[in-house]
């Protein structure tokens, strides 16, 4: 795996400056005096150095960076005995949880090889994944409960680029992936901050309409799909920026094209077929088809990676239930790019999607989200996993069904149907 020195990057380094600016100012909205934890692959250091500089320019307290490396990750799978895969560094996640409780912001850079673990034994991958999920729960819970402002962005890693552009040589692949990332993240123009302001306006309009309609459930129809998803009581649609419990309004995902809310964990019925592959913990899962009864998956299959998918939904009781429903028009810039990114941050924003597992407590009106018992009573799901997969296409229709049975078109052929 090569990485390029700053002066020899196969793309315009100025774009990294802009990406760092968007991440710190729009993504995190980092406040003066706030500490920051960055997790990032070693390969993304040209971006991480800029992020750190931009953070300190914004008045950050202490910026702590935790680096990872694909080859280091593989050493464990290649050499560690089976039993040792039950261990995970909980001290690190407990420390992160403590930092988040003390107003530390969280930034993740995603660049790793999405299929790093594809050739590993699925049982070992599942075993290590499960202990990692358990250990990381204290930190992950703070993020899903939106205790602090957080952001995730991407860097064009070489192995990832080769996955997206298998026919190009490494340097051209990185250059092509970089171009896609910069365009989709809206930094390929002279005023990215203003571009994000415009984009936010559109997302806000959509979320306001859905909140006004306050649908009881959504009905999805497409080839292989006839699914009714009940929405949680007191659910609230969100999109783009929202305010964390520490009072800071941030834009967690860059890019983001979705408006999303919390489904009712007991009121999902029917069948649904995935429209894009899903990459989960380094393994490709393709051709997912599941059937829900009263909120839980009663039948599941996949063309590729079925064992990994079946292991995933057996993680815990909540892993068979939905925790998120998200609407994205088929004409989103990511979908228009025609690329499969093998990276959920990108692929989920190309398409309408649902997520199995933990719900977002921020997607509730009023005080519900502050009380786990109230979230559960309202229908919010709880699990150690949160895994998004794509069900949108240009053949997907979605209707909103009101409490009194009234039907309102939301999407037709994958595009917004309301005016
Ligand atoms: Zn989503
Ligand atoms: Zn999600």
- Tell me the residue ranges of DSSP E strands in 17-156: 36-41, 63-68, 105-110, 150-154
How many angstroms separate the alpha carbon of residue 358 from the centre of ligand 1? 12
Q: Distance between CA 329 and CA 416 in Å, rounded?
A: 6
Q: What is the mean pLDDT of residues 201-224?
A: 97
How many angstroms separate the alpha carbon of residue 144 from the centre of ligand 2? 10
pLDDT at 93 over 50: yes
Question: CA distances (Å), 356 to each of 148, 241, 307, 310, 317, in order?
Answer: 23, 23, 16, 12, 11
How many angstroms separate the alpha carbon of residue 4 from the centre of ligand 2? 32
pLDDT at 105 over 50: yes
Ligand nearest to the CA of 326: 1
Residues in the chain: 419
pLDDT at 170 over 70: yes
> H or E segment at 322?
strand 322-327
pLDDT at 247: 97
Q: What is the mean pLDDT of residues 160-184?
A: 96
How many angstroms separate the alpha carbon of residue 326 from the centre of ligand 1? 5
255-313: per-residue pLDDT in tens? 999 999 999 999 999 999 999 998 887 788 999 999 999 999 999 999 999 999 999 99
198-210: per-residue pLDDT in tens? 999 999 999 999 9
pLDDT at 419: 67
232-264: per-residue pLDDT in tens? 999 999 999 999 999 999 999 999 999 999 999
CA end-to-end distance (rounded Å), the chain = 49
How many angstroms separate the alpha carbon of residue 355 from the centre of ligand 2? 5
Mean pLDDT of the chain: 94
How many angstroms separate the alpha carbon of residue 344 from the centre of ligand 1? 9
How many angstroms separate the alpha carbon of residue 354 from the centre of ligand 2? 7
Ligand nearest to the CA of 238: 1
How many angstroms separate the alpha carbon of residue 367 from the centre of ligand 2? 22
How many angstroms separate the alpha carbon of residue 258 from the centre of ligand 1? 6
Ligand nearest to the CA of 347: 1
Q: Which residue has the tokens 């996993």?
A: 385
Q: Is residue 17 classed as helix, strand or coil in its secondary structure?
A: helix
How many angstroms separate the alpha carbon of residue 117 from the centre of ligand 1? 24
Are the C-beta atoms of 237 and 207 separated by less than 8 Å?
yes
How many angstroms separate the alpha carbon of residue 150 from the centre of ligand 2? 14
How many angstroms separate the alpha carbon of residue 108 from the centre of ligand 2? 15
How many angstroms separate the alpha carbon of residue 246 from the centre of ligand 2? 21
How many angstroms separate the alpha carbon of residue 170 from the centre of ligand 1? 30
pLDDT at 50 over 50: yes
pLDDT at 2: 47
How many angstroms separate the alpha carbon of residue 5 from the centre of ligand 2? 34
How many angstroms separate the alpha carbon of residue 394 from the centre of ligand 2? 21
Walk me through the domains of the chain, giving residue ranges and CATH numbers. Answer: 7-184 (3.40.1830.10), 214-416 (no CATH)
pLDDT at 355 over 70: yes
Task: Count the Cβ atoms, other than its own, within 10 Å of residue 249.
Answer: 10
Q: Per-residue confidence at 156, pLDDT binned at 50, 70, 90?
A: very high
How many angstroms separate the alpha carbon of residue 3 from the centre of ligand 2? 30
Task: Count the Cβ atoms, other than its own, within 10 Å of residue 380.
Answer: 27
Ligand nearest to the CA of 143: 2
How many angstroms separate the alpha carbon of residue 79 from the centre of ligand 2? 33
Residues 6 or more apart whose CB falls under 8 angstroms from that of 382 comprise: 318, 358, 359, 372, 375, 376
Q: Per-residue confidence at 4, pLDDT binned at 50, 70, 90?
A: low
Provide DSSP, 133-197: HHHHHHHHHHHHTT-S-EEEEE---HHHHHHH-TTS-HHHHHHHHHHHHHHHTT-SSS-HHHHHH
pLDDT at 361: 85
How many angstroms separate the alpha carbon of residue 95 from the centre of ligand 1? 27
Ligand nearest to the CA of 356: 2
Q: Which residue has the tokens 């960055």?
A: 38
Ligand nearest to the CA of 360: 2
Q: Percentage of residues in the chain with pLDDT exceeding 70?
A: 99
Are the C-beta atoms of 237 and 360 separated by less than 8 Å?
no
How many angstroms separate the alpha carbon of residue 384 from the centre of ligand 2? 13
pLDDT at 306: 95
Ligand nearest to the CA of 323: 2
pLDDT at 219 over 80: yes
How many angstroms separate the alpha carbon of residue 152 from the centre of ligand 1? 13
pLDDT at 3: 54
């Amino acid at each position: 795996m090569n990485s390029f020195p700053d002066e020899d990057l196969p793309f315009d380094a100025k774009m990294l400056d802009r990406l760092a600016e968007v991440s710190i100012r729009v993504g995190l909205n980092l406040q003066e005096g706030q500490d920051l934890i960055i997790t990032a692959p070693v390969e993304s250091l040209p971006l991480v150095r800029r992020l750190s500089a931009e953070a300190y320019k914004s008045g950050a307290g202490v910026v702590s960076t935790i680096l990872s490396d694909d080859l280091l990750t593989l050493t464990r799978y290649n050499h560690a005995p089976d039993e040792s895969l039950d261990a995970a560094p909980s001290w690190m996640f407990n420390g992160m949880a403590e930092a988040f409780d003390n107003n530390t912001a969280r930034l993740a850079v995603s660049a790793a090889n999405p299929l790093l673990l594809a050739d590993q034994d699925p049982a070992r991958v599942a075993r290590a994944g499960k202990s990692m999920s358990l250990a990381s729960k204290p930190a992950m819970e703070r993020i899903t409960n939106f205790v602090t402002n957080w952001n995730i962005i991407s860097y064009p890693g070489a192995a990832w680029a080769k996955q997206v552009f298998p026919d190009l040589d490494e340097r051209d692949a990185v250059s092509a992936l970089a171009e896609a990332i910069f365009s989709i993240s809206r930094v390929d123009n002279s005023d990215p901050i203003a571009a994000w302001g415009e984009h936010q306006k559109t997302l806000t309009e959509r979320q306001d309409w859905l909140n006004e309609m306050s649908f009881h459930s959504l009905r999805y129809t497409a080839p292989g799909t006839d699914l009714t998803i009940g929405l949680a009581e007191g659910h609230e649609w969100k999109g783009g920026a929202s305010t964390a419990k520490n009072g800071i309004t941030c834009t967690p995902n860059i890019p983001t094209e979705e408006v999303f809310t919390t489904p009712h964990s007991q009121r999902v019925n029917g069948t649904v077929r995935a429209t894009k592959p899903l990459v989960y913990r380094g393994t490709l899962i393709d051709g997912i088809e599941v059937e829900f009864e009263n909120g839980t998956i009663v039948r599941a299959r996949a063309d590729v990676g079925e064992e990994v998918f079946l292991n995933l939904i057996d993680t815990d009781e909540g892993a068979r239930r939905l925790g998120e429903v998200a609407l994205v028009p088929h004409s989103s810039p990511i979908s228009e790019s025609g690329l499969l990114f093998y990276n959920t941050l990108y692929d989920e924003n190309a398409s309408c999607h649902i997520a199995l597992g933990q719900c977002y407590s921020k997607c509730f009106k009023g005080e519900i989200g502050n009380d786990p018992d109230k979230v559960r009573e309202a229908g919010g799901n709880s699990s150690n996993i949160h895994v998004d997969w794509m069900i949108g296409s240009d053949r997907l229709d979605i209707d909103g069904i009101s409490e009194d049975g009234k039907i309102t078109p939301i999407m037709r052929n994958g595009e917004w149907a309301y005016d």
